[in-house]
Amino acid sequence: MALVNPHGKDKKLKIKLLEGKELEEEKKKAKTLTEVRTTSRETGDIIMLGGGGFSPLDGFMGHDDWKGVCDEYKMADGTFWPIPITLSTSEGNADSVKVGQEVALVDEETGELMATMKVTEKYKIDKAHECKQVFKTDETEHPGAAKVMAQEEVNLAGPVKVLSESIFPKEYKGVYMKPAETRKMFEMKGWSKVAALQLRNPMHRSHEYLCKIAIETCDGVLIHQLLGKLKPGDIPADVRVSAINTLVEHYFVKDTCIQAGYPLEMRYAGPREALLHAVFRQNYGCSHMIIGRDHAGVGEYYGPFDAHHIFDEIPAGALETQPLKIDWTFYCTKCDGMASMRTCPHGKEDRMLLSGTKLRKMLSEGDDVPDHFSRAEVLTILRAYYEGLTEKVEIKTHKYSEGE
């Protein structure tokens, strides 16, 4: 059997990253262009466009695509897409750019030239509407909604030519991979049925259990963690990479897992983000997407299994990549092992519910971590990280991370 097709009508990866002579010539031209500064979120989107992770997109969305994605999960041409991929700039900067003109996209934090874009449209949006549709709230306490509400006033649309992958190829060598690279690895291993595990936390026992359930029915698992910017209190990617490598080395059968990373930052859009994760995992070659409790959630904005339900609400055939829905998982003292609500008959008093938020809170406060919560080899790495911090960040738990 073959791997799933890339997303979109053409079923091909749309790679926007330039190489060789074409890259050098575009960099020279970019020096003559008006600059548009990009946020860290927009920079991550540019890199995903470059490697084909956002196929079939060739750039930032126009108004009709934005509206269709917000309201109907589809772009103007009918292609399924769950979250707007947009670029904003100030009204003054937008006024200096004409439709049809090329601009240089420059990361506002590093000053690095990331891409050029031919502007095909300038438009304004109702930010609160986008937030309510995508995040179910426009409260700025929600980190994703806060980012959208803080966007500049005018969106610019158009196809991009990507000139850089930023720090990722060097800083995460061997982990940062583009879709063509993961697809090649799967094909070399003879895998066609591949499940993706989305990670923004180090793997605890529930993550390990989810992977092992998937390995029972699939050829292998892609442990796919995000390498972009996180919210305060989250554990940096390099620490997570080390912890995951240790876990895979000691507790998984050889050649059943591949660890890789991608350059986005979290939007914390819960069920909508679960759909986006499935879209780009299809581009990476994964036939299944593991969807557990409170996928891509934050606080109590979403129900613990809203991300399960949303896959039943989208049109049939919208995605080739299918959800692998798994119930609440935990360690049960009576079962004497990992279990889920579907397999364990015992009561709450016998269950140790596991979550990344709870683990981070215990480690940040120097508390003892209960037996069976995480593997000892992983805890050694995480404790060393927390002991080295000069500033502590308060970690707030919520009812889902506490098992309520």
- Distance CA(357)–CA(318), nearest Å, equals 32
Q: Which of 41, 183, 200, 272 is catalytic?
A: 200
- Distance CA(115)–CA(90), nearest Å, equals 18
- Distance CA(279)–CA(6), nearest Å, equals 9
Quick one: CA dihedral 104, 110, 114, 118, positive or negative? negative
224 contact partners, CB below 8 Å, separation of at least 6: 196, 197, 198, 199, 260, 261, 262, 281, 284, 286
Going through 163-295 in order, the beta strands assigned E by DSSP cover 194-199, 220-226, 257-262, 288-291
CB 45 within 8 A of CB 264: yes
Structure tokens at 377: 């080899």
Of 293, 263, 265, 295, the C-alpha closest to 278 is 295
Q: What stretch of H or E contains 205?
A: helix 205-217
- Distance CA(145)–CA(270), nearest Å, equals 12
Of 219, 208, 96, 225, the C-alpha closest to 172 is 225
> For residue 275, how many other CB atoms are within 10 A of its CB?
28
Look up 267 and say whether it is catalytic: no
Look up 93 and say whether it is catalytic: no
**Pairing relationship of beta strands 288-291 and 257-262 according to DSSP bridges:** unpaired
- Counted residue by residue, the chain has a size of 404
The angle at the Cα of 72, spanning 67 to 73, to the nearest 5 degrees, equals: 95
- Distance CA(164)–CA(37), nearest Å, equals 15
Question: From its phi and psi, is residue 268 left (phi > 0), alpha (psi between -120 and 50) or beta?
Answer: left
Which residues participate in catalysis according to the annotation? 200-201
